[in-house]
């Protein structure tokens, strides 16, 4: 739980409540709700160990903007394509293996997204 979910799931995720579904992965750019196409891997060397990777998701339109933001601050490490990670609850995707299980998708406070 974080400050954005303390009041509930939020209107955009309300349809997924109690259904065992994962809300769709969307771009990390402020106010963008487009589907994710890229993972931008980064870390802050002042607070993270060198091997730790934080992940921002990006749509096609905002990939360059987010990557430039991270590069300018010396935080960017790598950009890789985003592949949907199945929870096994989606119809037709049961048994799909996670593609990015070793990536850290926690917030800066250590809470899971």
Out of 24-28, 56-60, 82-86, pick the least confident: 82-86
Q: Please check whether residue 78 is in contact with residue 58, taking contact to mean a CB–CB distance below 8 angstroms.
A: no
Exposed e or buried b for every residue in 57-89, given b needs 16+ CB within 10 A?
bbbeebbeebbebbeeeebbeebeebebbbeee
Average pLDDT on 22-42 reads: 94
Whole-model pTM? 0.60
The residue ranking higher by pLDDT, 91 or 18, is 18
Q: What is the largest CA-CA distance in the chain?
A: 43
DSSP class of 112: B
């Amino acid at each position: 739980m974080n400050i954005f979910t303390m009041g509930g799931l939020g209107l955009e995720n309300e349809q997924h409540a109690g259904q065992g579904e994962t809300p769709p992965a969307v771009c990390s750019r402020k106010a963008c709700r487009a589907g994710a196409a890229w993972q931008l891997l980064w870390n802050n060397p002042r607070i993270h160990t060198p091997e730790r990777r934080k992940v921002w998701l990006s749509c096609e339109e905002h990939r360059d903007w987010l990557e430039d933001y991270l590069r300018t601050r010396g935080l960017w490490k790598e950009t890789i394509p985003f592949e949907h990670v199945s929870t096994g609850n989606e119809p037709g995707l049961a048994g799909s293996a996670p593609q990015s299980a070793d990536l850290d998708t926690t917030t800066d406070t250590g809470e899971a997204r």
